[in-house]
Copies of this chain bind each other. A is one copy, B any other.
Amino acid sequence: KATSTSKMTENGVFSRDKVLTIDTMNPTVKNVEYAVRGPIVQRAMQIEKELREGVKKPFTEVIKANIGDAHAMGQQPITFFRQVLALCSYPELLNENMFPEDAKNRARRILQACGGGSVGAYSASQGIDCVRQDVARYIERRDGGVPCDPDNVYLTTGASDGIVTMLKLLVCGEGASRTGVMISIPQYPLYSAALAELGAVQINYYLNEEKCWSMDLSELESSLAEARKHCNPKALCIINPGNPTGQVQSRQCIEDVIRFAAKERLFLMADEVYQDNVYAEGCQFHSFKKVLFELGPEYSDNVELASFHSTSKCYMGECGFRGGYMEVINMDAEVQAQLSKLVSVRLCPPVPGQALMDLVVNSPQPGEPSHITFMKERTATLSLLAEKAKLTEQILNTVPGITCNPVQGAMYSFPNISLPEKSIKEAKAPDMFYCMKLLEETGICLVPGSGFGQKDGTYHFRMTILPPTDKLKILLAKVKEFHQKFTQQYS
């Protein structure tokens, strides 16, 4: 397709065809989609600009509930974490009296582990040694003593980086032997984007909306059987607590999934970035690793598992630092050596993000000067999120035509919206049409369900529960009003 012609333009200058065009570029990149920052969000940013420039709208501000970005929605950072980060950035502050001793101690410990005592040095590619050790001890505490080897912990540039790296290791083959990776639908679109870019086969398994977005073993089985006809399924990804669906998996469900993965020889990838975000009565976070070990050596010695965590979510919501880790279990030694080599090419994850990850897994302990404030801030944030989860579910369920599962965990609600026939016929992407209209008329920015995947003929939107309570109430009231108007208009 690329031709090498050049032509004279009006002003007498030769203009050549580009080397890099949409036709000559990497085709797998073209297949990538990422709705969380898609057209709706771009339009929202434009509208914000228009408002600033004085353009009249039926609303005075855009309320964004499109992305799980807690600080952007006004959540305050944990004081202790930021004190230590300031100390690490400018160690002169260690000489000041204004910081508590435990903050200073943490900063000294991190700085000592950095080359030249500076967070400006590259760290080891796998992450700073003492941070990986702290992560390992955190995992052991979290999982009731199940051992964790720091050599299996890799610090990452956000969980995104770990997930993409792991998928990269897994993918190979062409045609019917192309690697297939099972992902839940609805999914967090990083997965579909990474699989598209890697040229792997995306194998969808649907979560059961009727049963509070839980995983069905029979669905896993039939989706796998179907996929085996045209690709080589190698891995199964789970997000728990769920994004965009907000469910928290039961221990039984996790057990079933592990047995399934063992039987079907699938590499497990457990995305557990919302591990502290559990709100619903009777729900509890169970890590895949813990359950794996409780199933005994037949499983714990065999099933390959990578699990992911991040500084971006939970009670800290520190997205901008791009901190995270992954732990790999039962990974083949030669493959792990390849993983270590692969991560070395990018040199290292951001050191401030590593420091922050360290603070998350090594937070102030009872008796330390910052403990009380830390616990107060942590609890306040998590309680507020729990309230907003409840509020969201309750108000949305008062709207005729909207059905909303309980937000058991994470930071999102993914309600089912019934759209009038006429709107479905008129629009190519009815939920996109709905969300765009909602944005233009009310200033509320949500993401259409199609960006995450949904059963054919069903429609949803994803909204975060992160706006401050007063704004969240406005948002929910406006959605209610809009939905009723929209339904009338297109009936």
Binding site for B on A (CB under 8 A): 4, 11, 13-16, 18-22, 24-27, 29-30, 32-34, 36-37, 67, 69-75, 77, 82-83, 85-87, 89-90, 92-93, 96, 98, 114-116, 118-123, 125, 157-158, 160-161, 164, 168-172, 189-190, 193-194, 197, 234-235, 262, 265-267, 297-298, 301-302, 304, 312, 316-322, 330-332, 334-335, 338, 341-342, 344-353
Given A158-B346, A321-B120: A168 touches B26 (CB 8 Å cut-off): yes
Contact assessment for B234 and A19 in the assembled complex, using a CB-CB cutoff below 8 Å? yes
Contact assessment for B194 and A321 in the assembled complex, using a CB-CB cutoff below 8 Å? no
Given A115-B71, A120-B71: A157 touches B16 (CB 8 Å cut-off): no
Q: Out of B19, B70, B74, B169, which one reaches A304, CB within 8 Å? A: B19
Contact assessment for B334 and A319 in the assembled complex, using a CB-CB cutoff below 8 Å? no
**Complex CA–CA separation, A170 to B318 (angstroms):** 33
Given A20-B170, A318-B120, A352-B352: A89 touches B98 (CB 8 Å cut-off): no
Contact assessment for A21 and B332 in the assembled complex, using a CB-CB cutoff below 8 Å? yes
Smallest CB separation, A269 vs chain B (Å): 11
Contact assessment for B265 and A346 in the assembled complex, using a CB-CB cutoff below 8 Å? no
Q: Out of B20, B26, B33, B234, which one reaches A267, CB within 8 Å? A: B20
Given A115-B69, A160-B346, A332-B21: A85 touches B77 (CB 8 Å cut-off): no
Contacts of A267 in B (CB 8 A): 19-20
Contacts of A21 in B (CB 8 A): 332, 334-335
Smallest CB separation, A298 vs chain B (Å): 5
Contact assessment for B320 and A348 in the assembled complex, using a CB-CB cutoff below 8 Å? yes
Q: Out of B67, B86, B190, B234, which one reaches A345, CB within 8 Å? A: B190
Contacts of A98 in B (CB 8 A): 96
Smallest CB separation, A152 vs chain B (Å): 14
Given A13-B301, A114-B320, A302-B16: A71 touches B22 (CB 8 Å cut-off): no
Contacts of A332 in B (CB 8 A): 18, 20-22
Q: Which B-chain residue is minimally distant from A161 (CB atoms)?
A: B346
Contact assessment for B350 and A350 in the assembled complex, using a CB-CB cutoff below 8 Å? yes
* 9 interchain pairs, CB-CB under 8 A: A16-B262, A20-B169, A26-B170, A37-B125, A70-B120, A77-B120, A120-B316, A123-B320, A350-B352
Contact assessment for B25 and A116 in the assembled complex, using a CB-CB cutoff below 8 Å? no
Contact assessment for A29 and B120 in the assembled complex, using a CB-CB cutoff below 8 Å? no
Smallest CB separation, A170 vs chain B (Å): 6
With contacts A22-B335, A29-B169, A72-B122 known, what are 16 further pairs, Cβ within 8 A?
Answer: A20-B267, A20-B332, A20-B335, A22-B332, A25-B170, A25-B172, A26-B170, A71-B114, A71-B116, A71-B121, A73-B116, A86-B86, A119-B320, A160-B347, A320-B351, A322-B350
Q: Which B-chain residue is minimally distant from A76 (CB atoms)?
A: B118
Contact assessment for B34 and A344 in the assembled complex, using a CB-CB cutoff below 8 Å? yes
Q: Out of B24, B33, B90, which one reaches A85, CB within 8 Å? A: B90
Smallest CB separation, A125 vs chain B (Å): 6
Q: Out of B22, B71, B118, which one reaches A77, CB within 8 Å? A: B118
**Complex CA–CA separation, A83 to B93 (angstroms):** 10
Smallest CB separation, A180 vs chain B (Å): 12
Q: Which B-chain residue is minimally distant from A262 (CB atoms)?
A: B16
Contact assessment for B26 and A172 in the assembled complex, using a CB-CB cutoff below 8 Å? yes
Q: What 4 A-B pairs are tightest by C-beta distance, nearest first?
A: A72-B115, A320-B351, A86-B90, A71-B118
Contact assessment for A350 and B347 in the assembled complex, using a CB-CB cutoff below 8 Å? no
Contacts of A298 in B (CB 8 A): 13-14
**Complex CA–CA separation, A350 to B194 (angstroms):** 20
**Complex CA–CA separation, A455 to B96 (angstroms):** 56
Contact assessment for A320 and B19 in the assembled complex, using a CB-CB cutoff below 8 Å? no
Contact assessment for A322 and B157 in the assembled complex, using a CB-CB cutoff below 8 Å? yes
**Complex CA–CA separation, A75 to B265 (angstroms):** 51
Contact assessment for B34 and A122 in the assembled complex, using a CB-CB cutoff below 8 Å? no
**Complex CA–CA separation, A71 to B21 (angstroms):** 41
**Complex CA–CA separation, A290 to B313 (angstroms):** 43
Smallest CB separation, A395 vs chain B (Å): 24
